[in-house]
Amino acid sequence: MSDSKINYRDGDAFTRISKRAGYRSRASLKLKEILKKDILIRKGMSILDLGSFPGGWTQVIKENIGNNGIVVGVDINNIKTIKGTFFIHKSITELEENDFQEFIDKIPFDLVLSDMAPNISGVRETDDALMINLVDSALSVIDHFLKKGGSTLIKVFQGESLDYTRNALSNRFKTCKASKPSASRSNSKETYLIGKEFK
């Protein structure tokens, strides 16, 4: 069996595990692993989930923040309601403070998440440029809506977008580190960058 078939077989196993657990995507398992190792979620936190469709990350966060915390998903694709969470149906580039009026006392946020990725063209330079464009959009949200001392988690691709995002986070946060959860396929170029203690 080829390496790629092995990788996708393993990936399918993670998909089955996530479905059995009631999650909407295998990405939920990636986030659970990162939270266990690298980011402490406390009860009562306010968390913004950028590019939240189909809702797998929102589900995981909701499990961890308790009834006094809030999680807000944002996506251009509408999602099926997740009880006890909020959803803003618009592009993250159009977010403004008025969108958060319902829970204005909970912003700025403690944590901003981004699992966004562009539609892959297969052309490395094009894909890097598209990913960097998404990262810039996420950084703009962080600059406007993340509280001082807060944290972020952003998906990037290995290569130019990884270097670009690491530099951007290093300028904004006291610490920055990379993580590749085991639920990511070994042949996947995705990597997650974690920024802690927003300046």
Residues with active-site annotation: 155
**Beta-strand pair 173-179/190-198:** antiparallel
d(CA 84, CA 61): 11
d(CA 174, CA 61): 24
How many CB atoms are located within 10 Å of the residue 182 CB? 11
CA 6 vs CA 3, 9, 17, 168, 185: distances in Å: 5, 5, 17, 35, 10
